[in-house]
Amino acid sequence: MAPEARQPDLTLLLVEDDARTRAELDRILAKHAGLAIRVAATPEEALAAAEVEPPPDLALIDLRLPGKDGLTLLDELLLKVPALLAIIMTGYGEAETARQARERGAVDFVEKPLDLPYLLVVLRQLSREARLKRDLRAGAALLSGVLEMMPDGILMTDAAGKALYSNQIGRSLWESGHREPGQQAQAEGRVYTLERRAAGDRVLWHWIDLTRALEQERFAAYKQMARFLAHELRNPLTPMRLWLQELQSAPPGEEQFRETANRAVEVLLGQVDRLMELAGRFRALGEMVPPSLQRVEVTTILREVEQALAPFAAKAAVRLVVQTEGALCAMADESSLYHLLFNLVRNAVEASEGKGGTVRFAARAEGPLCVLTVEDDGGGLPPEAAAAPFTPYLTTKPGGTGLGLLICRELAASMGGRLVLCNAPGEGLTARVELKGGD
């Protein structure tokens, strides 16, 4: 079985008013040039043939045609098919005519009677060029389609700022005047930031769509806020639960029960107040209200933390020791300072749980600073945690979130202070909070 003949992939428009010449060229070129031939006897037929899909790739045009010369026809054909590669043929060869043909867009000029071998060589060369240009156009169209599908804005200019290429988003942002690198721009509900790169006399303007990244960042912030809230709610709930359990286990009707009940009520009311303050803090956070700094008596805060965590420490077999230098004040937000110390002391108790250790928390003046320390003998942080102690979700406690120290650091920073950790492997951890003194 003979192999199927390959179909021509290029089309030649043959425009010749002489019927015999037209028929011979149609037969010969179809056979030897490997082209699909589309014939026309008049300029009107040629223009109509140029509008048939696919448009012609090549054209062989007689110079002398009825009603219109071949060069004028070429002008009109190039308006319809800009990529057309045309050859002008004539029986009246003159140098001036050849020059005019090339100036008007013809790629070659041949004289009649035609030199057929030369014409076939020229057509094969032009066929290769036409295929190359077609592939380039297809590649450019593919690139254009890809760039139009991108969520980013793209625009290329020359060194003088003349736009050479762009996708729709890039054109819109460019025309809107968003041309400052690093600056964010908004368009149609999306957020962009501009990067500018220059290479030679070309400048690439790239507006990066940040919308999805910002949405993910906000979602991550919401998740972290939810964990932060859950972590902070546990602080007052822990002593409330422990004091209720203490009250439940105390023998009723005895003086000890009355004392335990009074202490439990005092702690429970205090922790309810803490919850109310916590709700207020989160409301203020939503309103972007900074903490209010004032003179706070830190000794009172230390005693409140000790009282709140006493049952928790007793259950963990850990002794709490408060060391102060009498009345001492710091410039702080009372609620923030309480939560900061509560977190640090609770962490220290958890680190010492079951070891019969001691947690010491103290306050002292160091020059203009009020320094608060929480020290445990729970063995210190392991190497992986000591290397990055404030990393979220890096924790050594089962079920922990790793947010405690991060929250403490942020609370200290919100009051204009700082939190420093001093780790002694195998011995314990000392947390040092430095605040501006209030005396």
Count up the domains in the chain and report the number.
Answer: 3
The band of 271, judged by pLDDT with boundaries at 50, 70 and 90, is confident
- Quick one: 157 and 76 in the same domain? no
Minimum mean pLDDT among 38-42, 112-116, 305-309, 391-395: which range? 391-395
**CATH number of the domain within which 154 lies:** 3.40.1840
Residue 414 pLDDT > 90: no
Q: Which residue has the higher pLDDT, 373 or 272?
A: 373
Residue 125 pLDDT > 80: yes
Tens digit of each residue's pLDDT (9 = 90 or more) over 223-268: 766 766 776 677 777 777 877 887 777 776 667 777 777 777 777 8
- Quick one: 277 and 355 in the same domain? yes
pLDDT above 90 covers what percent of the chain? 31
Query: What Rg, from alpha-carbon coordinates, does the chain have?
Result: 43
pTM for this structure?
0.44
Query: Domain span at residue 97?
Result: 11-145
| Amino acid, res. 68 | K
- Quick one: 34 and 167 in the same domain? no
Question: Does any domain span residue 6?
Answer: no
Question: Does any domain span residue 249?
Answer: yes
DSSP string, 75-113: HHHHHH-TT-EEEEEESS--HHHHHHHHHTT-SEEEESS
- Quick one: 171 and 246 in the same domain? no
DSSP string, 268-308: HHHHHHHHHHHHHHHHHHHTTPPPPPEEEEHHHHHHHHHHH
Mean pLDDT, the chain, integer: 83
- How many Cα neighbours within 13 Å face the side chain of 269? 5
Long-range Cβ contacts of 31-35 (<8 Å, 24+ apart): 32/120, 33/120, 33/123, 33/124, 33/127, 34/6, 34/8, 34/10, 34/127, 35/8, 35/10, 35/11, 35/123, 35/127
Question: Does any domain span residue 3?
Answer: no
Average pLDDT over residues 60-86: 93
- Quick one: 280 and 343 in the same domain? yes
- Quick one: 156 and 261 in the same domain? no
**CATH number of the domain within which 39 lies:** 3.40.50.2300
Of 180, 209, 238, the position where a domain reaches its end is 209
Q: Which residue has the higher pLDDT, 138 or 23?
A: 23
Question: Does any domain span residue 37?
Answer: yes
- Quick one: 132 and 178 in the same domain? no
- Quick one: 37 and 156 in the same domain? no
Of 89, 116, 145, the position where a domain reaches its end is 145
Measured between alpha carbons, how far is 309 from 316 in angstroms, rounded to an integer? 11
pLDDT of residue 364: 92
Question: Does any domain span residue 92?
Answer: yes
pLDDT of residue 399: 41
Minimum mean pLDDT among 120-124, 324-328, 329-333: which range? 324-328
pLDDT of residue 217: 66
Minimum mean pLDDT among 52-66, 88-102, 215-229, 412-426: which range? 215-229
Asked if 28 contacts 116 with a C-beta cutoff of 8 angstroms, the reply is yes
- Quick one: 98 and 230 in the same domain? no
CA distances from 59 to 104, 131, 170 (A): 14, 14, 38
- Quick one: 203 and 224 in the same domain? no
Residue 26 pLDDT > 70: yes
| Amino acid, res. 399 | G
- Quick one: 180 and 278 in the same domain? no
Helix axes 211-249, 255-286, angle to 10 degrees: 170
Q: What is the three-class DSSP state of 207?
A: strand
pLDDT of residue 6: 64
Question: Does any domain span residue 330?
Answer: yes
Residue 44 pLDDT > 90: yes
Tens digit of each residue's pLDDT (9 = 90 or more) over 333-342: 998 899 899 9
The band of 286, judged by pLDDT with boundaries at 50, 70 and 90, is low
CA 368 to chain centre: 44
Tens digit of each residue's pLDDT (9 = 90 or more) over 197-209: 888 889 998 888 8
Residue 165 pLDDT > 60: yes
pLDDT of residue 123: 92
Residue 92 pLDDT > 60: yes
Q: Which residue has the higher pLDDT, 269 or 41?
A: 41
Q: Which residue has the higher pLDDT, 401 or 44?
A: 44
Asked if 38 contacts 11 with a C-beta cutoff of 8 angstroms, the reply is yes
**CATH number of the domain within which 271 lies:** 3.30.565.10
Sign of CA dihedral 142, 145, 150, 156: positive
Classify each residue of 237-261 as buried b or exposed e, where b means 16 or more C-beta atoms within 10 Å of its C-beta: ebbbebbeebbeebeeeeeeeeebe
| Amino acid, res. 389 | P
What is the helix (H) or strand (E) element at residue 191, kind and residue range? Answer: strand 190-199
Q: Which of 415, 401, 422 is nearest to 301 (CA)?
A: 415
- Quick one: 82 and 185 in the same domain? no
Question: Does any domain span residue 427?
Answer: yes
Question: Does any domain span residue 1?
Answer: no
Residue 1 pLDDT > 50: no
Residue 284 pLDDT > 60: no
> H-type helices in 211-354, by residue range?
211-249, 255-286, 298-315, 334-352
pLDDT of residue 401: 43
